[in-house]
Amino acid sequence: MRELYPNCYTTKLENGVTVIVEPIEDRPLALGVWVRVGSRDEPAHLAGMAHFIEHMVFKGTTHRTAFQISEEVDALGGYINAMTHKEYTLFHIDVLPTHLEAALDILADLVKNPRFAEDDIRKEQGVVLEEIRMTEDNPQEKVFDLFVERIWDHQHAMARPILGRAETVRRFDRAGIFEFYRYYQPEHLIVTAAGAVKPERVLDAVKRVFGDLEPGVRAPSRQSPHPRRHFYIEDRDSQQANLVLGVPSVGRHDERRFTLEVMNTILGGGMSSRLFKKIREELGLAYAVFSSASLFEDSGIFIIYVGTEPKNARQTVEISLTEIERLVREPVPESELRLAKEKLKGNILLGLETSHSRMVRLGIGELYNIHAPVEELVQKIEHVTADEIQEIAQELFGRDGLSLSAVGPADKLRDLESALTAAL
Could you give the residue numbers annotated as active site? 54
The DSSP bridge partners found for residue 245 are 304, 404
Q: Are 406 and 142 in contact (CB under 8 A)?
A: no
DSSP assignment, residue 280? I
DSSP assignment, residue 269? S
Q: Which of 87, 88, 227, 218 is nearest to 156 (CA)?
A: 227
**Burial class (CB within 10 angstroms; exposed 0-12, middle 13-18, buried 19+) of 347:** middle
What is the length of the chain?
424
The helix, strand and coil proportions of the chain, stated in percent and rounded to the nearest 5, come to 50, 20, 30
Handedness of CA 344, 347, 350, 356 (dihedral sign): negative
Measure the CA–CA gap between 259 and 394, rounded to whole angstroms: 13
Contacts of range 67-76, beta carbons closer than 8 Å, 24 or more positions apart: 69/106, 69/110, 72/102, 72/106, 73/103, 73/106, 76/102, 76/103
The DSSP bridge partners found for residue 324 are none
The DSSP bridge partners found for residue 65 are 60
- For every residue of 376-400, DSSP letters joined together read HHHHHHHT--HHHHHHHHHHHHHHS
Report CA-CA distances (Å) from 302 to 149, 223, 288, 382, 396.
14, 20, 17, 21, 9
Report CA-CA distances (Å) from 54 to 36, 59, 114, 243, 407.
13, 10, 10, 30, 29
